[in-house]
Structure 1
Amino acid sequence: MQETAEVSQAGVTWTLVRGTDGADEQHIQVVPPFPFSIGRRPGCSLQLNYKTISGTHAELRLEGEQLWVSDLNSTNGTYVNGRRINARVPLREEDLLQFADMAFRVRSESRQNTCLTMAEDVCDQALALVQFDRLMENRLVTPYFQPIVDMATGAFRGYEILARSRLFGLESCSAMFDAAARLNMEVELSRMLRWEGVREGLNLNGNATLFVNTHPLEIRREGLIASMGAARQLSQDVPIILEVHEAAITDPREMQLLRSQLKELNIGLAYDDFGAGQTRLSELVEAPPDYLKFDISLIHEIDRATPERQKMLASLVQIVLELGVNPLAEGVETEAEAEVCRNMGFLTAQGFYFGRPAPVRDYQL
């Protein structure tokens, strides 16, 4: 069932939307006076009769055409885009407003513009944001696995965990994170994808290493190690490598601490997309990972590159090897690229030449 509560004054109508299926749609028209109260207690402007909701949980106030939300010292909190609020917060179009575990999407519309037709791409984006609630609540993702091979033998050494979804507008990882970024929920999405990937990866044949991803925002927020601890408990003795994007590698001491904490969990560390940003070799020396994944921009058509470019890449590979780090070539698409990378000293590689991302059933005998 879809519930809506419309707040209107001046020339703007604000709407709180709960539900995404459109079935048995219920509209609750709300009119001044303000504040507009939300709670379990009879007499609230919007009564939510759930145990997690406090008697007087929160309130909305309209100042001009701006809607504000305040928490009223509720037990389980009020959240805007996944963050618990301690002071009043202005609400924007498509914000995710949550009272304890009751989530609503915020909508606003000018009365003068109600008959205007939205552009198709805007409609698609709005639908994707609505779908994002379903994606997170029901964990509607399918983990995909791309093989990582041993360059000497061609054997599968592990798999990088990726994800897909069948929800409209959220089919790819990039689309999921685009929607998450609009709601400030990148970290929550990253943790959910990682958990589902590890859980599904336990069905792979053998004891293959699982390469799991992080979002750059996770490095400086609490909870990453706890999340990886939960993944380790779930996976037991399955080898795990945590990939950190190059953009997040700015403080060697931070990486040293992260590697130490991961080591206690028997989890390895990889730096992803090396060569795409600003990671310096000095940082590799001070905080060496277990794997260094060379960005596809360095690998693409390396067989056709100038001798100078090939020599430069080969020199980087040798430096990485001398540091005791496993150099991994990303984005290998042809046999010629694979052969050049092998001759340069790359120990591992991944790319379409070795296998495209696929669900776990495609790797089960």
Structure 2
Amino acid sequence: MSEIRELALRCRDASRAVAALHTEDRYAMLRAMADALVADAPAILAANAQDLDAARDKGVGAAMLDRLRLDDARLAGVADALREVAALPDPVGRVTRRETRPNGIVVERVRTPLGVVAMIYEARPNVTADAAALCLKAGNGVILRGGSEAIRSNQAIARALHRALEAAGVPAAALTIVEDLRRETMVELLQLTDIVDLAIPRGGEGLIRFVAEHARVPVIKHYKGVCHLYVHADADQALALRLLVDGKVSRPSACNALETLLVHADAAEEFLPRAAHALRAHGVELRGDAAARGIVPDMGEATVDDYDAEYLDLVIAVRVVDSLETALDHIHRHGSDHTEVIATPDPAVAEAFVQALRSAVVMVNASSRFSDGGELGLGAEIGISTTRLHAYGPMGLEALTVERFVVRGEGQTRNIHD
């Protein structure tokens, strides 16, 4: 038996112990996990510093370094997120629908854990804690295969969390860290159809495609975020400017950061100079089409590739459009079904925008940065699904369970009658 198969089997066995815990016991376990992160902060931050040094030596870019970096505030935020998840209503065992059939049987739809979730991700050590908390709260086991850039950070976080699991009487294997980071091992993990119930890749486009192409288990993709802000002709320009700066600048390495600005021609003459001034004050590079450059002449030239790009950096593509329909056509051709934003006071225009798009999250007069499980009331998220399966958009606890049927009767039979 291969090592990865043995690890997965242990995780599956341990997941049954998690599913058997009472709600209050899982709540206490997650609170203890959060406390363990705080207690182990010096060791975790020291491990993270080693990862950062190694990443810099390899020439890793600024966006990846930002995703990799932990500090006291970020680690405290991760612990707070675990406490928020702990306090959320338990989805396991919840009856979502109940009806009595004409023959007297009672049919219930009841939420139950998925089983074993494999999380494949890159340089985000916070995912180690977030994914563990969400999967365990939902009664699952979790196999975490992070990237080599964050291996020391992930190991240090897992050591802290394992203590809390063991104190709750749950085998540490319920939270399994894969330390063999060879691609062959990842491929084998993704083909364990008899053990792994769901794989969730979270990272760059190359990782997502690799997982989708090699997996035999079901996959929910956290695909790239090519997020747009469309400023309609009648937009409140001060409001639109706030959405633009917050969406692009507050954390450009996040998948919910804005990557493209679309401005209606009737608003562009006034809005684009203000937008360029505000963005450049934060070091943002603008790349625009001919119409945008006609208004802001020192703007760089945008190519088709720019409109397809997830920069994850202080760069934004700009285009002037002549109608809502043109804006929607642009989004359909270049978007990634992640998050789209419109700035308009007109409810009819806003509704047309919402109904025309199939993106996982659509914002009306609100920042793209709210496209986040915590901000949308889910607690910490395990990812933002851009795959239309049982979950779409930010994935929280409920997305880590499925509905099954429980039928209660009093001896009814279908074909045999007294």
Question: Given the two structures, how large is their TM-score scaled by the length of structure 2?
Answer: 0.23
Higher RCO (Cα < 8 Å, 6 or more apart): 2
Greater helix percent: which structure? 2
Say which structure is richer in strand. 1
State the TM-score, normalized to the length of structure 1.
0.25
Larger radius of gyration: 1
